[in-house]
A and B are shown apart, each in its own frame.
Chain A
Amino acid sequence: MNFWLAVFRQTGRNLRQTWTSQFMTFLTVSLSVLIFAFFYLIYTNAIGTGDKLRNNLTLVVFLEDDPGPEMQEQFKRKIKNFDTMKSIRFVSSEEAYQRFAEELGENSDVLDDMPRDFLPASFEIVPLKSLSGYNQIKLFSQYLASLPGTEKVQYGQEWVERFHYFTRLLTIVVFLSGTLLILTATFMVAYTIRLTILSRKAELELLKLVGATNSYIRTPFLIEGILQGLMGSVIGLSSLYGLFRWISNHFTGPGILNLFQFNFFSLPVVCIIIFGSILLCSIGSYTSIRKFLLI
């Protein structure tokens, strides 16, 4: 019998003897992974959606008067002074009128009595992706508003602001659930291993006396921690995937969820969560071994 076979047999015995506390720890780790992964999934999707929205972000600068060609160039230069832009397009009052009429379609006759320059001229600015942060956009819009001849700057401020605070709140929730995962994984596993060590004190003492090496005695407890982390994270993530599929299947068709494209974690992220969980549980196991298994 080699070392690993002996150690796995010993691990099997440990698990059989203390299966109730092992099961409770496994459930707690699974639940913690599920809670963390759930919020993290929402967070990553929200960030992804935010990125997409920012790609399509357009700032519209309404002007007080229809500027002449020279003034248009002056405006463009001033805008470019702030940062390089993806595109800057001037929309005259006439063009704005035409667009509006097209949008109204059959009802465009309501505009018949209106003067053709009743809509203000504007600049439609699409910033580069580098100008994507909420604070940067806010600064840019303030800069545009401060330019002489500007009447109003519009970019869906309210919506962008709400989305910004929503992602900030999610960041806090993800951080808290991550902390919960760290605490439960390390402390619960450490506590379970401690219970196992205490309940098998006589056996561990005997193992030392009959010549068991430190690694023979300690490794099974470390394997228990690794198994708790592996199984807890796999079950937690599988449950989340089940929930994800269920929501995807039951909320298809027109609805708010279809405005956004929800994706599950990529394989590398799944691996990182599993590895992180294993690492945390191993740390919990190791601290108990160091503290209570003095050989």
Chain B
Amino acid sequence: MGKQEITSNQEFPGNTMIEMIKVSRSYPPDIQALSDISFSVKTGEMLFIIGKSGAGKTTLLKLICNMELPTKGLIEVAGYNINMLKGKDLAHLRQKIGVAYQDFKLLSERTVAENIAIAMEVSYKKPRAIRQRVYDLLEQLQLSGKHDTITCELSRGEQQRVALARSVANSPRLILVDEPTGNLDAYTTEKVMDLLNRQNKTGATIVIATHDTSIYESGNKRVLELQDGAIHSLTIRNG
């Protein structure tokens, strides 16, 4: 591949959003978190990653968003070797990837609205557009009354939804979600999945790491199961 340059308003062409070929990740002294992972995710697909705790789901998501580097193997996102990207190119690609982290990564002293807006501010969206988008997302996630609440005052379930709102705020083309429903009741889980499905229908590719069987049993989606850092199965679950 020649020189890779990404601009902030560039769309991702092509059919494949994520390509992983023989990707491994180990941690010192000799912990093998992932070994020889190979799979592809098509643009617009919704993929579920399941597996027991410690199977490597979170590590896999961190590798896709370039939060960590693989020990070996190739990772391409939208045709770009993400580990070769640096500076502005990496920043512009990250603007197109929304991530809801398992530990939320919320700014505890900032308000809910500020936490969600941060993803849009870095891509220089207009203040009015940011305000409108934040209101819409809070409404969709049953958090309308929490607009000006400091995030450290929220419950775990509310924080989880704020993290999810931030991940979709910038209308990214790829959304990575780590345990989106872990702290939620059935009703709120449904709302969260509605939001993700809507994003998926607009063309966003979505990868969800989860333990919650209820969210992937009902659809016609691919499910990748990890076991001890390796792919155990890659199946299509029919609801």
Q: Which residue of A lies closest to B89 (CB)?
A: A213
A206: which B residues are within 8 A, CB to CB?
Answer: 105, 107, 118
Q: Is B127 an interface residue (CB 8 A)?
A: yes
Residues of A within 8 A of B181 (CB): none
Contacts of A5 in B (CB 8 A): 124
Q: Which of A1-44 contact B (CB under 8 A)?
A: 1-3, 5-6, 9
A213 touches B107 (CB 8 A): no
Q: Count of A-B contacts with CB under 8 A?
A: 59
Is B28 in the interface zone, CB < 8 Å from A? no
- Which residue of B91, B97, B99, B126 is within 8 Å of A214 (Cβ)? B91
Do A1 and B119 touch across chains, with their CB atoms under 8 A apart? no
- Find the B residue at minimum CB distance from A203: B107
Q: How far is the CB of B118 from chain A (nearest CB, A)?
A: 6
CA distance A214 to B121 in the complex (A): 14
Contact assessment for B124 and A207 in the assembled complex, using a CB-CB cutoff below 8 Å: no
Q: A203-B107, A206-B107 are in contact. Are A211 and B94 (CB under 8 A)?
A: yes
Chain A's interface size range is: 10 to 19
Q: Closest residue of chain B to A200, judged by CB?
A: B107
Give the residues in chain B near A9, CB-CB below 8 Å.
121
Which of B92, B126, B127, B130 makes the CB contact (< 8 A) with A211? B92
- Contact A207 to B122, CB < 8 A, known contacts A202-B107, A213-B87, A214-B88: yes
Chain B interface residue bracket vs A:
20 to 34
Asked whether B47 is an interface residue with its Cβ less than 8 Å from the other chain, the reply is: no
Q: Assess whether A269 is interfacial by the CB under 8 Å rule.
A: no
Q: Is the Cβ of A213 less than 8 Å from the Cβ of B88? A: yes
Q: Chain B CB within 10 Å — which of A6, A202, A209 has the most?
A: A209
Partner of B122 from A202, A205, A216 at Cβ < 8 Å: A216
Q: Which residues of A contact B130 (CB under 8 A)?
A: 1
Query: Hey, what's the 0/1 contact readout for B97-112 against A, CB within 8 Å counting as 1?
Result: 1010000010100000
How far apart are the CA atoms of A208 and B91 in the complex, in Å? 7
Nearest-CB distance from A149 to chain B (Å)? Answer: 83
What 1/0 mask marks residues of chain B from 54 to 81 whose CB sits below 8 Å from any chain A CB? 0000000000010100000000000000
Residue with the greatest number of chain B CB neighbours at <10 A, chosen from A3, A203, A210, A212: A210
When distances are taken between beta carbons in the complex, the residues of chain B under 8 Å from A1 are 121, 124-127, 130
A209 lies within 8 A of B124 (CB): no
Residue in A203, A205, A210 whose beta carbon sits within 8 Å of that of B94 in the complex:
A210
Interface residues of A in 185-214 (CB under 8 A from B): 202-203, 205-214
Q: B93 within 8 Å of A by Cβ?
A: yes
Chain B residues 122 to 142 lying within 8 A of chain A, measured CB to CB, are 122-127, 130
Cα separation A163 to B188 with both chains bound (whole Å): 85
By the criterion CB–CB under 8 Å, are B95 and A211 in contact? Answer: yes
B129 to chain A, nearest CB (A): 9
Q: A1-B124, A1-B127, A6-B121 are in contact. Are A209 and B87 (CB under 8 A)?
A: no
Tell me whether A209 and B105 are in contact (CB under 8 A).
yes
* Chain B contacts for A213, CB-based, 8 A: 87-88, 91-92, 122
Task: Kindly state the separation between the CA atoms of A214 and B97 in the bound complex, as whole angstroms.
Answer: 17
CB distance from B174 to the nearest CB of A (A): 12
In the assembly, what is the distance between CA of A213 and CA of B123, in Å? Answer: 9
The complex places the Cα of A205 from the Cα of B124 at a distance, in Å, of 18
B143-178 interface code vs A (CB 8 A; 1 in, 0 out): 000000000000000000000001000100000000
When distances are taken between beta carbons in the complex, the residues of chain A under 8 Å from B105 are 202, 205-206, 209
Chain A residue numbers with a CB within 8 Å of B170 are 210-211
* A-B contacts besides A212-B91, A214-B88, A216-B91, 5 pairs, CB < 8 Å: A1-B124, A1-B125, A202-B105, A210-B94, A216-B122
A-B contact pairs, 9 of them (CB 8 A): A1-B125, A205-B105, A207-B118, A208-B94, A210-B119, A210-B170, A211-B123, A211-B170, A212-B91
A-B residue pairs, 8 tightest by C-beta = A211-B95, A211-B94, A212-B122, A213-B91, A210-B119, A1-B124, A211-B91, A211-B122
